[in-house]
Amino acid sequence: MKTAIDLNAPEMVTNRALLHWLSDIVELTKPADIRWCNGSQAEWYELTRQLIDQGVMTQLNPELRPDSFLVRSDPDDVARVEDRTFICSVNEADAGPTNNWRDPDQMIDKLRELFDGCMRGRTMYVVPFSMGPLGGPISQVGIQLTDSPYAVLNMRIMTRMGDDALRQIDDDTNWVPAVHSVGMPLIDAVGNTIDDVPWPCNTTKYICHFPESREIWSYGSGYGGNALLSKKCFALRIGSFMGKQEGWLAEHMLILKLTNPVGKVFHVAAAFPSACGKTNLAMITPTIPGWKAETIGDDIAWLRPGKGGRLFAINPEAGFFGVAPGTGYATNEVAMDTLWGNTIFTNVALTDDGDVWWEGMTDKAPDHLIDWRGDDWTPSSGRPAAHPNARFTVPVEQCPTLSDDWFESAGVPIDAIIFGGRRATNVPLVAEAFDWKHGVFLGATMSSEQTAAAEGTVGALRRDPFAMLPFCGYNMADYWGHWLSMGKSLGKNAPKIFQVNWFRKDDNGKFLWPGFGENSRVLEWICRRVEGTAKTYEAAIGIVPARGSFNLEGIEMPRGAMMKLFNVNPPSWLDECDQTEEFFSTFGDRLPVEMTKQLGALRRRLKKAA
């Protein structure tokens, strides 16, 4: 039976495909009401009041943290669910061995079964949003339908959301349709009322991407990237597929602006797997006198060839969705200063004076807290006060180091691309790729070493190519091929590519490099390489700093530390080549021939060096 509900579409909505899609989803999900979100401050106030009244949100002390809120999720809904995340390409081979694949027709049938009546008794929110500056040449638009006001509030922070984004969608606009439900209706199929809960979710969860139709369907979770479909789902999984079709790149990268003491500006993009210091680097405070670093993005970059044949990048997001634990004034002062207000905190602890706390925020924990589950907590409780994946959602524009370049609709020209992982051995502090093809090989072989027996064999490599393993929306081998093609089209205008490793250790297990602000010394060398002024020598694994060419002024390094930071051990590297060959073999005949050539060349250089 068809629903009689009015779509309530604003007059500006003329796109027939949009209205047809919305009508279909309304008929399927059967919401009690429809609300088009306009992104206004009044709407923010209304929805936050609503969630406070429902016991979902706690308003923090406005004198300590103005217009900020704490939310506690269901303990079974605290992170991305990678095992329930699917790429539903028409052909299974197009998803590749690193993705979970499902037949798109069968998955749509399953999803329509799950979504049938899933919004009974709830409001459907229509959330138009722009990824990137409104109308920009690299920007894209989408519409998320959701029954979660929590998701709406987070989308307002993380995207350019509301009427201005809706005006970007005319009859000829390509836009991404995204459907989300927590999967907990308030009225059952026969009309009985179901009691609501502070954090509705479902034990059944699906996060599905349909690359060919650019659709996103998410069911059962209200948390993070499972519910904020603009982020990993659109900006990376669907975005990467769009980029391959249209000749651009959607990457899990920070963007940083650097200015040297004489005023020359450089822009770098950098990809790091989790727990490798990406956010800290995006908000770095250089220790080298005269150098300035400004933040453009901390998580996602869209890169497209632009003026002069160079590669330009934007941060498509409007907010930071960061992991709170481990963030403190000792590790990331800029991030802490960003969180002064207008922030949604999820699964952190609540202090007795109405503020927030998490592990790593201060050296000493408060004597008493309410933990992320809502229970009393003291330092002797023997459990974390905040969930390890606790989050903050905060506007980018509050970042004290935000660059004016963030507002540039055409993006910024990228001078260097950096890849990094957490490696206790083998990988030097910094090395430059011999050329673009070698740089793609460095990105394709990115990995971190296992660091504890609980995670697996210590020293075994956890592969995360380009830091995109969970986020590439198509076959990873084809993705490497797309990068190779981009390099060919960019030619001499292509950015230089580098590999870094802040985490190399000595024989006693101590870090050889101090990291944090001192990483600016690595960035300085990279910038001097872009200029062509830094002296180098060729090692088997890449181009590294010549003795004395690395800026160590004002820093004390243990005797022999720099030599160990750049040591290349051919037998260890040859063993790693065998692991790389095994990894490459999983892609079969989709593997670009160039990757095999690069592996062979590396082996020859290592044997010559041995």
Helix (H, G, I), strand (E, B) or coil at 125: strand
Helix (H, G, I), strand (E, B) or coil at 605: helix
Angle at 83 between CA 77 and CA 86, to 5 degrees: 110
Report residue 494 as tokens. 């292509």
> 238 with 214: CB under 8 angstroms?
yes
Helix (H, G, I), strand (E, B) or coil at 300: coil
Environment class of 72 (CB within 10 Å of its CB; exposed 0-12, middle 13-18, buried 19+): buried
Amino acid at 343: T
Closest CA to 512 of 500, 521, 503: 503
> 127 with 145: CB under 8 angstroms?
yes
> 37 with 46: CB under 8 angstroms?
no
Question: Helix 149-158 crosses helix 41-53 at what angle (to 10 degrees)?
Answer: 140
Report residue 610 as tokens. 């041995």
> 427 with 459: CB under 8 angstroms?
no
E strands, 84-122, in order: 85-87
Q: In what order do the strands lie in the sheet with 356-357?
A: 356-357, 349-351, 369-370, 376-377
E strands, 414-566, in order: 416-420, 430-432, 447-449, 461-463, 496-500, 536-539, 542-545
Report residue 19 as tokens. 């209205």
Helix (H, G, I), strand (E, B) or coil at 74: coil
Catalytic residue ranges: 276
Euclidean distance between CA atoms 99 and 297, whole angstroms:
26
Closest CA to 314 of 418, 202, 211, 414: 414
Helix (H, G, I), strand (E, B) or coil at 225: helix
Euclidean distance between CA atoms 118 and 448, whole angstroms:
41
